[in-house]
Amino acid sequence: MEFALKTTQLSKTYGNGVTALQNVDLAVPQGDFYALLGPNGAGKSTVIGVLGSLVIKTSGRVEVFGVDIDNNFPQAKSFLGVVPQEFNFNIFETPLQIVRNQAGYYGIDRRTALARTEQYLTLLGLWEKRNDQAGQLSGGMKRRLMIARALVHEPRLLILDEPTAGVDIEIRRSMWDFLREINRSGTTIILTTHYLEEAEHLCRNIGIIDSGKLVENTSMRELLRQLHLETYVLDLEQPLATIPVGLDRAARLIDPTTLEIDIKQEEHLNDFYRLLSDNGIRVNSMRNKANRLEELFISRVGHSPLEGK
Amino acid sequence: MTPREQWIAYATIVIKEITRFMRIWQQTLVPPAISTLLYFVIFGSLIGKRIGQMDGFDYMDFLVPGLILMAVINASYQNVVGSFFGAKWGKSLEELLVSPTPNSIILLAYVTGGVARGLLVGLIVTGISLLFTDLNVFSIGILISVAVLTAILFALGGFINAIFAKTFDDVSMVPTFVLLPLTYLGGVFYSIHLLGDFWQQLSKANPILYMVNAFRYGFLGISDVSLSVSFAMIGFFIVCFFALSLYLLTHSKRLRA
Ligand SMILES: Nc1ncnc2c1ncn2[C@@H]1O[C@H](COP(=O)(O)OP(=O)(O)OP(=O)(O)O)[C@@H](O)[C@H]1O
Ligand SMILES: [Mg+2]
């Protein structure tokens, strides 16, 4: 299978000594919709920087559709459309100029460039704003401008670094539809996000990166299968010394009066209740443990996706 | 990229650069017009009459070529250092860096933008000088080639400055502390024959002297220095600056982390 993106032992240490990536092996199949998750400072943007040649890798290999960036970086770059995390257009230029010029940098003649600019600015709801100064657009519009700019040369691989940060819920949902449509038409998409819900909605495969290391690389389905396991927290009336036989497979004693139990989808709560009563364990209250995907993330990374370190 | 695609990328950047300096013409075209107007009024008309002849020509006629070239030097330098540093500082340079456009094309296009502004300002200043004196042209070929080569050289200089610069102060440093003294001492206002031996020899270490004299030769047919040495010197610096610019554009840590 040809991969849209394949990194082998990719490492980056910045000039200030910070090691942002350590031997990262990523493999994103063609046509995939891939989420790269990780806490602040994990190294997500560094990966994207390396692909766009804004960050020079320290070691390792990077191939984009089979083209090694060390052999033919311009060709590899011609496959890529990049939506960076931070705004990086000239605020004095207009959306029309910004998108059309970007097409020019990919060697697209001016007539085609203009037609595509209209097409993508319209798709992203910015055609009305085409002659405004880019600096005066709202935050969400600026982000959409960068998406239009990244699409104008019709890249085979679209990379979005937190595209929905600071975008309201309505626009976020319409952006999701838009990205899904782009992906359906054959464009491979890699996105980074802090919204696990977003990854769950959109992505087929997922990588979790922490402190520069890839700690999870799996399909969303596999990940969700692990989640088909609901965790409940029970507050007990009496302290418990040990977990009774029969419960020990699924339960953990967090402290003497707090018991956590995992219940698979096909299991019934009644069975657990019966086991608890049989062992004389009385339960004061019970709650469902928070956001499932978030839990999983924390179990891999050690803290919540929104917390930095 | 195919040659045609590279050409499109080149043209895109050049048009963008020209659009930029035309859009802010009050900052790019008006100031050199005003300052040379003042030079002409003060040094040419008012003081010039008292100076009399310089190298056998009216002082005004002697002065004009140097002032035109000085304007070309400043405009081409400022255009590239301003635009490229601005793009780096505001991050819009990333638009180019992530694209497949080769570094050589990026460099050539920025230099072309600088040359365009340098020559346009040169034309404006030439027009203004016609209000004060009739210009005789000794060799139009020499005039144009010196103007173009000098503009290329200083556009490259501005490019290098922009790559190294970290702040806007770094952008104005070189023009103030290097370009200004070198042009003022580069025979714009006087013939180095007025100087003592030591200062004459020292002046000959100033590359701008050669450009000013070669340019003046195009108007008046006289020069304090050899014409072929002038061309060789400009050519040498262009080759060095181009190589350095391209190297920095590819490898500099100031552009890529
Ligand atoms: N240009 C740079 N020079 C030095 N260190 C850098 C540079 N860019 C990033 N870093 C460091 O590299 C590490 C990874 O940063 P990176 O931007 O890749 O994280 P991230 O996963 O994108 O985080 P976030 O979710 O906050 O965007 C951080 O420790 C960061 O401080
Ligand atoms: Mg980031």
Q: What is the pLDDT of residues A259-280, one digit of tens each?
A: 888 887 777 888 888 888 888 8
Q: What is the interface size between A and B, counted as CB pairs within 8 Å?
A: 88
Residue-averaged pLDDT of chain A: 88
Residue A166 has pLDDT above 80, yes or no: no
| A135: confidence class by pLDDT, cuts 50, 70, 90 | very high
pLDDT at position B79 is 96
Assembly ipTM: 0.88
Average pLDDT over residues A105-133: 95
H/E run at residue A225: helix A220-227
Q: Of all residues in chain A, what percent carry a pLDDT higher than 70?
A: 92
Which DSSP string corresponds to A108-165? --HHHHHHHHHHHHHHTT-GGGTTS-GGGS-HHHHHHHHHHHHHTT--SEEEEESTTT
Of the candidates A54, A93, A107, the beta carbon closest to that of B98 is on A54
pLDDT at position B189 is 84
Q: What digits encode the pLDDT tens for the residues B125-156? A: 999 998 888 888 899 999 999 999 999 999 99
Average pLDDT over residues B188-194: 82
Flag whether residue A78 sits within 8 Å of chain B, measured between CB atoms: yes
Q: For the sheet containing A283-288, what is the strand order? A: A251-255, A258-264, A229-236, A283-288
Pocket of ligand 1 (CB under 6 A): A 14, 16, 18, 20, 38, 40-46, 85; B 257
- Taking an 8 Å cut-off on Cβ atoms, the answer to whether A106 and B2 are in contact is no
The bridge status of strand A33-37 relative to strand A80-83 is unpaired
Specify the ligand 1 atom closest to the Cα of A85: 27
Atom 24, ligand 1: residue with shortest CA distance? A40
State the Cα–Cα distance between residues B74 and B121, nearest whole angstrom.
Answer: 9
Average pLDDT over residues A83-101: 95
Residue A77 has pLDDT above 50, yes or no: yes
Q: Which of A204-213, A283-292, B196-205, B225-234 has the lowest mean pLDDT?
A: A283-292
| A291: confidence class by pLDDT, cuts 50, 70, 90 | low
Q: At a CB cut-off of 8 Å and minimum separation 6, what does A89 contact?
A: A98, A134, A142, A145, A146, A149, B92, B95
Q: What digits encode the pLDDT tens for the residues B42-70? A: 877 788 778 778 888 888 888 889 999 99
Q: Which residue of B has its CA nearest to A12?
A: B257
Q: What digits encode the pLDDT tens for the residues A225-272? A: 776 677 888 898 988 888 887 777 778 888 888 988 888 777 788 888
The pTM of the full predicted model, rounded to 2 decimals, is 0.85
- The candidate with the shortest Cα–Cα distance to B250, out of B102, B111, B110, is B102
| A296: confidence class by pLDDT, cuts 50, 70, 90 | low
pLDDT at position A308 is 47
Q: For residue A49, list chain B residues with Cβ-Cβ distance below 8 A.
A: 257
Pocket test for ligand 1, best of A40, A46, A47, A192 (most atoms within 8 A of CB): A46
Q: At a CB cut-off of 8 Å and minimum separation 6, what does A261 contact?
A: A231, A232, A234, A247, A250, A251, A252, A272
Tell me A168's DSSP state.
-
Residue-averaged pLDDT of chain B: 91
Between A289 and B183, the more confident residue is: B183
Residue A49 has pLDDT above 60, yes or no: yes
Smallest-distance ligand from the CA of A207: 1
pLDDT at position A292 is 60
pLDDT at position B51 is 79
Average pLDDT over residues B73-97: 95
pLDDT at position B242 is 97
State the Cα–Cα distance between residues A27 and A202, nearest whole angstrom.
Answer: 18
Average pLDDT over residues A275-297: 77
Residue A309 has pLDDT above 50, yes or no: no
Token representation of residue B197: 């031996």
H helices present in B92-139, as ranges:
93-97, 103-129
Identity of residue B102: P
Identity of residue B225: V
Residue A166 region by backbone torsions, left for phi larger than 0, else alpha for psi between -120 and 50, else beta: left
Q: Of all residues in chain B, what percent carry a pLDDT higher than 90?
A: 62
Residue A168 has pLDDT above 90, yes or no: no
Which DSSP string corresponds to B47-94? IHHHH-EETTEEHHHHHHHHHHHHHHHHHHHHHHHHHHHHHHHTSTHH
